[in-house]
Structure 1
Amino acid sequence: MLRWDITLVYLDDIIIYSKTFDKHVQHLDLVLDALQKANVKLNATKCSLARKQLDYLGFRITQEGIKPTTTNVKKTIDFPIPTSAKAAYSFVQMAQFYRRFIKDFASIAAPLNVFKTKNAKFEWTNECQKSFDTLKQKLSQYPLLAFYNDKSKLKLKINTDASNMGIGGVLHQVTSDGHLQPIQYLSRSLSKREQKYSVIEKECLAMVWCITKLRPYLYGREFTLITDHHPLCWLNKQSSKNGRLDRWSLQLQEYSFDIKHTPGSSNCVADCLSRYPLQQPDNVVEEQLEVMHGQINNISTAITSTFDSTKIQEQQQRDKRIKQLYDQLASGKQHQSYTLENGIVYKNLHRTNHMILKVPYVPTSMIEQLLQAYHNSPTAGHLGINKTWNKIRDRYFWPGMYNKIKQYVLSCTKCRQFKVDRTKPTGKLQPIEPPTGILNLMGLDFIGPVPSSSNGNKYILVCTDYLSRYAIT
């Protein structure tokens, strides 16, 4: 069997990676032995051994990071000046494959995006030519994105910003010497409805969208979010009277991050990405939450105000079990399963890939309210036991959580009233005594209607003798 910690397999390709040459030789032997045992043959002409860099799936993988391949960049640079709308948009689509490498890609490609619509009139302007040349020039520099290191203690920073037309952000990894390594640039335009949001709502949407997009990097890690909108610094600390903001705040509770303010002039990358976003907005979770807008605002406000950090801290101090843990941690005593941060006791949940989640330890007095919010509320949907458990398990903790959730869901009055089993009851099955003679007991099977035969027959009757198994149709 191939070891996942030294190999990556994609379809019929196998990549073996190692930190040193000696280790690489050992890993290569392990993989070749596994392939030999499985009777798998390799094409020697297609094998590439002991390389410090590799072209794979359109990217060049090096020790420093990843960048576009020489072959694909050359194809882009050699692309002739378009003579039709279709050709112009084809060029944009080709360059867009590497948009995560190009800062401000959307603003550069904006003049060419007018050709994306069907039956678009082709007119090659000076702006189009400038966009065409700039994209080629940017790609010819072979921009580099650093590898995300999930095992290191390097800090992560996200810069987000919003404008009247779009939102954007950039994820950085902070090296030991304070250097910012870009991992990914991202941006999108706002829908017509989103353009009507207030400034604070647009800025908050930028935060939620960027964090959601970057979830594989951020989930289970502490990070810092940089914004040039100072009022948002309270977002993950207290509730507001704005239902939309409270709902987004609730959505971000599964992440561990601090929000810091920086002037707009210092947040130039995210600011630029937001002002010139990609043309097509993504389908974000927020789009689905606008149904029954007025009702949801009230519901979300109630849920968030019930479980903000201040109230959790208050109730933890009144819970004897948690208070005992709090006193131990506050005195400096280390605990493998619990930590104390900002006056709140957190449970350390160990997940796959060495990931540790810190979730609040829920006081007994708040369990009932929390279950009501995650099961009974109109936005919760009265989900079943496992789905309700999966919604809560990475956000909160208390002893015997699964059994409590199971008990609560099974005792839900509305679930018992409306979730009626619609399947037909099974027929009554009884053992059949074996027959004493042939044709004493027959079984009948009726099939039809089926396509008519030449005689006009549409049904089939099969009679089977239980003793001899003789069948008649």
Structure 2
Amino acid sequence: MTSCRTYGHKLNAPVLLATRADFADLRDAHLPCYALVCSSVLVSLDDAPSLDIPPAVANILQEYADVFPKDLPTGLPLLRGIEHQIDLIPGTQLPNRAPYRTNPDETKEIQRQVQELLNKGYIRESLSPCSVPVLLVPKKDGSWRMCVDCRAINNITIRYRYPIPRLDDMLDELSGAIFFTKIDLRSGYHQIRMKLGDEWKMAFKTKFAPSTFMRLMNEVLRPFIGLFVVVYFDDILIYSKSMDEHLEHLSVVFDALRSAHLFANMEKCIFCTQRVSFLGYVVTPQGIEVDSSKIAAIQEWPTPTTVTQIQSFLGLAGFYRKFVRDFSSIVAPLHELTKKDVPFAWSDSQEVAFSTLKDKLTHAPLLQLPDFNKVFELECDASGIGLGAVLLQEGKPVSYFSEKLSGASLKYSTYDKELYALVRTLHTWQHYLWHRFKTYSYPNKSEPSSWVEFIESFPYIIKHKNGKDNLDFKIFGLQTVKDQYVDDADFKDVFAYCINGKPWRTFHIQDGFLFRANKLYKNTKRKLDQVFWPRMRADVERLVARCTTCQKAKSRLNNHGLYMPLPVPTFPWLDISMDFVLGLPRTKNGRDSIFVVVDRFSKMAHFLPCHKTDDASNVAELFFREIIRLHGIPNTIVSDRDAKFVSHFWRSLWNKLGTKLLFSTTCHPQTDGQTEVVNRTLSTMLRAVLDKNLKR
């Protein structure tokens, strides 16, 4: 045939098998056409799932037509070195189950399928001591699938585990792919050979058949898995970044299937598409989406009336929990009804949760496939009942995480819950976050010692964001500070002078950062990115200088003598110092003193309100509740010789705990200079807010 363009499925050159598009072009162009109509061809387009297959792909399908037969060859599968093996637990009784009752139509269908399997040589008549029933399950096309109920055999079978790939890990591999082809093996379990001698155990439909199948597929496609192929049982997904690359990938995969005598089902295959449904998700070059057919089932789900119905709904909805922010908090009212000894009472809270979840799944966002050449961003927060987090790249979500708090975690303070949210988020996504350096953000500063070690294992900078700024915030890496010196009004001249390695006064550049002495300088823009007015800095300095309260509160006297520094510790909260600030105005709760505890390594301080009349036992109780709970037991404690600290109770307590007590010299507080500096700063702050205690 003659056409205005060469387009069609090549059989034997120069013959072309025309498509509908060819005839449409010829009709529109009013060109003469001579067509040879064949009763059958090597590859029938009726077998192909779409007529829009590119010609190059169709040529490959023609070349590998034997991989896509209309039916499996008769006889037993090829011996490939991997066979399905069933080992029974020694000494167990073999099951002998009666068949299920069936109506006449079901009986005829079972007999037909059994006879078909006998004719193909897949099964044979047996006098096995085992007997398990069969049942019919409807297929999507309305036909019936015969299944063997081998639960009784499963219960007495030795378990041999083979790793099944994680679904989310397989989806991550698709990042950057443009073209997809999905291959579905025809009657996959019928293509695996049983181990000789195990046929009588009727083990083919047992719970370990999937493991055997995965072992076979991994063996056949091992050179390609993780490069351009993902396999999940009998589903094979081939992904590529270009058409030429995709054609090459198709050829090598078809070669592997041909060599292993594995056959695919053309009717269920999808070739060379940019949008494919895979394992409940829709995969595109832009990311992954929810499957509209499954979301339709959720949207049409009637209001549950039993616990079982709630569990079924949550099971289906939970499959897409990564698409819903704060999923656990939303479904918390529904989970309450599934608890033991909780009466079923559908109230407004359950109805709101049910409707909200439906709506969020119906309008679920597109999730980006992770690109490990780009920086990851993370946001996390905690509420009274749950945790929530989102992983982003370039401001677009990659995944959502949520977790309902229970047990002891419900009793955490707000600080601890928010830090726990960070810990759980890091743990969940650590396989992403270890890949590249990135700044993290979480909405509070508290750091319980039980989690600090885990957080410190990550090479990241944690930044605090106020709650009011936490609705939509960006996470800036420390590296971006380097790029902002050039345009900064305060530091650009200093930075330009020092960039050639010449220090200016006490300023110098180290690793690209501007330092003054040993302090890192950040530009004003980063500190005041939310507020601005002309001459803002000068106005702030002038306001502070004219503040009468501030000037009265601050000391104008020089320090009396020198503070004596102690040896620097090697780890946070192993060596601490403590003191009391007395003589303060009495609060509504009767507290008139502050118990000051300072970590000598990090300089972090805790200010604990207390009573001047508290004895050593009260102070110890306060210390355990507020300090040890967060940071653990210290190695050393530095304090003055207050009566509480030299009491027999206090000394005996710390002696049993293995903590060494160190006391400053009598009438010489400079011995513990660090605590004295903290006390002086605290006193200045208190004087600034308590007018009646200002110095005259």
Contact 1:159 1:226 in 2 (8 A): yes
Distance 1:206 1:77, change over 3 A: same
Gap change, CA 1:165 and 1:227, over 3 Å in 2: same
Structure 1 residue 86: Cα displacement: 2.3
Gapped regions of structure 2 (runs ≥ 5) = 1-220, 474-499, 502-510, 515-569, 572-696
User: Aligned partners of 1:55, 1:86: CA distance in 2, in Å?
Assistant: 29
Say yes or no: does 1:97 pair with 2:97.
Answer: no
Write 1 or 2 for the structure with the bigger share of helix.
Answer: 1
Q: Which residue of 1 aligns with 2:302?
A: 80
- 8 Å CA contact retained: 1:157, 1:171: yes
Structure 1 runs of 4+ with >6 Å offset: 340-343
**DSSP 3-state at the match of 1:250:** helix
**Corresponding residue SS for 1:17:** strand
Q: Pick from 43, 60, 75 the counterpart of residue 265 of structure 2.
A: 43
Code of the residue aligned with 1:192 in structure 2: it is G
Larger radius of gyration: 2
Report the Cα offset of residue 90 of structure 1. 2.2
1:239-293 CA distance string (max 9 Å, x none):
xxxxx42x422223332211122221232389xxxxxxxxxxxxxxxxxxxxxxx
2:424 paired residue number: 209
Match of 1:3 in 2: 224
Compute the displacement of 1:46 (Å).
2.2
- Give the Cα–Cα distance (whole angstroms) in 1 for the partners of residues 472 and 348 of structure 2: 26
CA distance in 2, matches of 1:215, 1:170: 13
Equivalent position to 2:465, from 262, 279, 297? 262
Provide the secondary structure at the position in 1 that maps to 2:288: strand
Q: Which residue of 2 aligns with 1:120?
A: 342
- Give the SS at the match of 1:94: helix
Alpha-carbon contact 1:228-1:264 (below 8 Å) kept: yes
CA distance in 1, matches of 2:231, 2:267: 19
**d(CA) in 2 for partners of 1:133 and 1:84?**
17
Q: 1: distance between equivalents of 2:358 and 2:415?
A: 36
Equivalent-residue separation in structure 2 for 1:74 and 1:52 (angstroms): 23
Note if contact 2:337-2:345 (Cα within 8 Å) is conserved in structure 1: no
Q: CA deviation at 1:16?
A: 0.6
Question: Match for 2:451: what amino acid?
Answer: W
Helix, strand or coil: the match of 2:425? helix
Quick check: 1:170 aligned with 2:366? no
Please give the alpha-carbon distance, in whole angstroms, between the structure 2 residues aligned to 1:114 and 1:193.
17
User: Do the aligned residues in 2 keep the contact of 1:226 with 1:260 (CA within 8 Å)?
Assistant: yes
The alpha-carbon deviation at position 148 of structure 1 amounts to: 0.8
Q: Is the 8 A contact 1:101 1:185 kept in 2?
A: yes
Contact 1:228 1:261 in 2 (8 A): yes
Matched residue SS, 1:124: coil
The whole-number CA distance in structure 2 between the counterparts of 1:165 and 1:142 is 23
Coordinate RMSD, CA, aligned:
2.9
Structure 2 counterpart of 1:145, from 339, 364, 367? 367
Q: Note closer, same or farther for the CA distance 1:187–1:269 as it changes in structure 2 (3 Å cut).
A: farther
Separation in 2 of the partners of 1:112 and 1:165? 14
* Conserved 8 A contact 1:158-1:169: yes
User: After superposition, where does 1:457-472 map in structure 2 within 5 Å?
Assistant: none
CA distance in 2, matches of 1:28, 1:88: 44
Correspondence for 2:437: 222
Residue 376 of structure 2 corresponds to 156
How far the C-alpha of 1:102 sits from its partner, in A, is 1.0
Q: Is contact 1:173-1:181 (8 Å) kept?
A: yes
Q: 1:145 and 1:130, CA in 2 relative to 1: closer, same or farther beyond 3 A?
A: same
Shift of 1:44: 1.6
For residues 136 and 189 of structure 1, the distance between their equivalents in structure 2, rounded to whole angstroms, comes to 19
In 2: Cα distance, 1:200 partner to 1:112 partner: 27
Q: Summarize the Cα distance change of 1:12–1:184 in structure 2 as closer, same or farther, 3 Å threshold.
A: same
Q: Give the drift of 1:341.
A: 9.4
1:262 partner letter: K
Counterpart in the other structure of 1:253: 456
Structure 1 CA distance, aligned partners of 2:384 and 2:368?
31
Distance 1:99 1:90 in 2: 15
Post-superposition shift, 1:171? Answer: 1.1
Counterpart in the other structure of 1:380 = none
Q: Distance in 1 between matches of 2:406 and 2:337?
A: 19
* Maintained 8 Å contact 2:328/2:404: no
8 Å Cα contact 2:375-2:436 kept in structure 1: no
Are the equivalent residues in 2 in contact too, given 1:85–1:120 (CA < 8 A)?
A: no
SS of 2:246 mapped into structure 1: helix
Call closer, same or farther: CA 1:202–1:139 in 2, change over 3 Å: closer
- Distance in structure 1 (CA, Å) of the matches to 2:361 and 2:311: 17
Cα separation, partners in 2 of 1:195 and 1:81, compared to 1, 3 Å:
closer
* Higher RCO (C-alpha under 8 Å, 6+ residues apart): 1
| Higher mean C-alpha displacement, 112-121 vs 45-54 | 112-121
1:167 is aligned with what amino acid?
A: L
- Kindly provide the CA deviation profile for residues 288-325 of structure 1, in whole angstroms up to 9, marking residues without a partner as x: xxxxxxxxxxxxxxxxxxxxxxxxxxxxxxxxxxxxxx
Q: 1:66 to 1:210 in 2, by over 3 A?
A: same
Asked whether the 8 Å contact 1:160–1:225 carries over to 2, the reply is no
Q: Counterparts of 1:87 and 1:38 in 2: how far apart (Å)? A: 44
**Partners in 1 of 2:381 and 2:370 — Cα distance?**
22
Task: Mark the CA change 1:48 to 1:106 in structure 2 (over 3 Å): closer, same or farther.
Answer: same
8 Å contact kept, 1:86–1:115:
no
Q: Give 3-state SS (helix, strand or coil) of 1:36's partner.
A: helix
Describe the shift of the 1:141–1:24 C-alpha distance in structure 2 as closer, same or farther (beyond 3 A): same
Q: Counterpart of 2:551?
A: none
Question: Does the alignment pair 1:15 with 2:218?
Answer: no
Of 206-215 and 123-132, deviating more is 123-132
